[in-house]
Amino acid sequence: MIDWINELFGIKNEVSVPIVISLIVFITGGIVSYSFQKIREFNERIKLRKTFVLLLNRTQTDLKSKENNTQKFYNTIKVDHNESWSLTHGPISYLDTFFELDFSDIYASFRKKFFWSICNRKKKEKAFHKIWSILRNLKFVESQIEPNMTSMISKFSEYHNKYNDALTSYRKLFDDLMRDTNGTKMPKKEATFLMAQDAIWHKWEQLEENERVKYHITYNQVVKPILELLRNNSDLQITKIFDVQLLDCAHQYIQMETLLKSYHTQFYSHYLTYRASRRSLKKASEII
């Protein structure tokens, strides 16, 4: 080969040999450098894919916990719950981390892997994009949980206070009327009407104290029966004394009931989102 180069270019060994050696070293170095670069890129892609899958696995674990906690919580959103509401709301640890990673690098690392999957390449691509769709939806849901909780408690407290105020106002009117008419001769129908109210209150007072403080018990055993009594005696002038306060009680109770039904549905939806997301992430992770 050296002789051929010497003859072709009209040079001697002293010139051609160093040139050939330099070319061999340059080409070999380039090949080695290129190979190391590709190996490094390959290792980085594997590392990135493993990190991504590891984060997905941790996210599924957190979702299981959130699923259980949300299920327990939405079952307490009802009118017969007489304690303060508390939702164990731990964050999805690495949810924000996904969006801090370079999406292009992650996508490129998986796309190169998908390239060698001849039979289910499209399925893997779809699963990969499905994962990101789920993560974006989870990020939105997570941003809604605390505002929903705060809003529910605030509105419920407002309606509940108004309910208590109306009930207290009604009870004062009733007690004042009973005191003012004590020993006074009254028409039989009006006296019977007042005694019927007094009997309803007396029945309520026989309950255990931990039952009497429950607003839904008071509503069903006091407010509703007295409202029915008012309707049945609407021809009596005396019934109009109690209309405003009792109707306000009923209105505020209905507001509380409607509010809790709405938020029960809202948090049930959050629970379904966590459950469906966990299952979908597990399936998509297995596919990619």
Per residue in 143-200, pLDDT (tens digit) is 999 999 999 999 999 999 999 999 999 999 998 888 888 767 778 888 898 999 999 9
Q: Is the pLDDT of residue 31 over 80?
A: no
The pTM of the full predicted model, rounded to 2 decimals, is: 0.79
Cα–Cα distances (Å) from 144 to 59, 63, 68, 141, 269, in that order, read: 18, 16, 18, 5, 12
What per-residue string of b and e applies to 138-172 under the rule 16 or more CB within 10 Å gives b? beebbeebeeebeebeebbeebbebbeebbebbee
pLDDT tier, 88 (very low <50, low <70, confident <90, very high otherwise): confident
pLDDT at 135: 94
Q: Is the pLDDT of residue 225 over 90?
A: yes
Counting residues of the chain whose pLDDT is more than 90, the rounded percentage is 48
Residues 62 and 278: their CA atoms lie apart, in Å, by 9
Is the pLDDT higher at 119 or at 10? 119
CA dihedral 132, 133, 138, 143 (to 10 degrees): 100
Instruction: Please name which of 67, 157, 52, 41 lies closest in space to residue 99, comparing C-alpha atoms.
Output: 52
